[in-house]
Amino acid sequence: MKPRAVKTLCIDVGGSGIKAIVLDATGKALTERMRIETPQPATPEACLLVIAQLAAAQGAFDRVSVGFPGVVVDGVTRSAPNLSPEWAGFGLTAAIETMTSKPARAANDAGVQGLGVIEGKGVEAVITLGTGMGFGLYVDGRYVPNIELAHHPFRKNKTYEERVGHAALLSVGKKAWNKRVSEVFTQLEPILNYRVLYVGGGNSRLVKPETLPDNVRIVDNLAGLLGGIRLWA
């Protein structure tokens, strides 16, 4: 098979929806993106049933990539703050390989998202604004995995995620939430000194582009799935 013809089933597990698409090696979509609501409670068993449904509906693929909303080491999930405590120590890639009979790789969702958009030059970072707040750091294109910035104290005795996650958006409204998001950039810029910061995730469309510093770019939420190909690079 020509490398270009390899079909990757890219799955993005989120706090509110689980999404899937099949991409060729160049990132071209071969299927329609599908989304199924994340089951509640979002246990491994319940989420795997949804992944099985998505995989069946997406048709043929050769390998599977998963962006997962928590810490993932060697295909094993360590945490999933917005899913369920049952994910601690779950063999995610092994379970998907058993289910699909195809090789699988998994990494943190924000990490995968960034892999889909970075330029691979110098220090780049990604923040995802969705149910939770995701973070990824890249040095010359190499991902530094599992930096859990979301749960680090930020302001007013609250963590980053408590200040700018989806629950905060609902409770304080768009205007105050936008101000908080700007405060996150102001806080991080002089610490990380990134060349570019990319902002993705479902709520990134609510960030007012005119308020952004020059080195902060909003990216399409589809990147969460595109990055799945890079997990095989």
Choose between 14 and 21: whose C-beta lies nearer to ligand BGC.
14
129 binds ligand BGC (CB under 6 A): no
Residues within window 52-111 making contact with ligand BGC, judged by CB under 6 A: 69-70, 81-82, 108-110
114 binds ligand BGC (CB under 6 A): no
Residue showing the smallest CB distance to ligand BGC in the complex: 132
128 binds ligand BGC (CB under 6 A): yes
113 binds ligand BGC (CB under 6 A): no
Smallest distance from ligand BGC to CB 187, Å: 17
Contact present, 18 and 11 (Cβ < 8 Å): yes
Place of tokens 């005795």: 157
12 binds ligand BGC (CB under 6 A): no
Choose between 82 and 204: whose C-beta lies nearer to ligand BGC.
82
Specify the stretch interacting with ligand BGC by CB under 6 A; choose among 33-41, 58-66, 143-151, 185-193: 143-151
151-170 mask for ligand BGC (x: CB under 6 A)? x---------x---------
Which whole-number Å values give the CA distances from 192 to 117, 118, 124, 159, 187, in the listed order? 18, 16, 9, 18, 9
**68/93 Cα distance (integer angstroms):** 11
124 binds ligand BGC (CB under 6 A): no
Place of tokens 């110098």: 122
Smallest distance from ligand BGC to CB 12, Å: 9
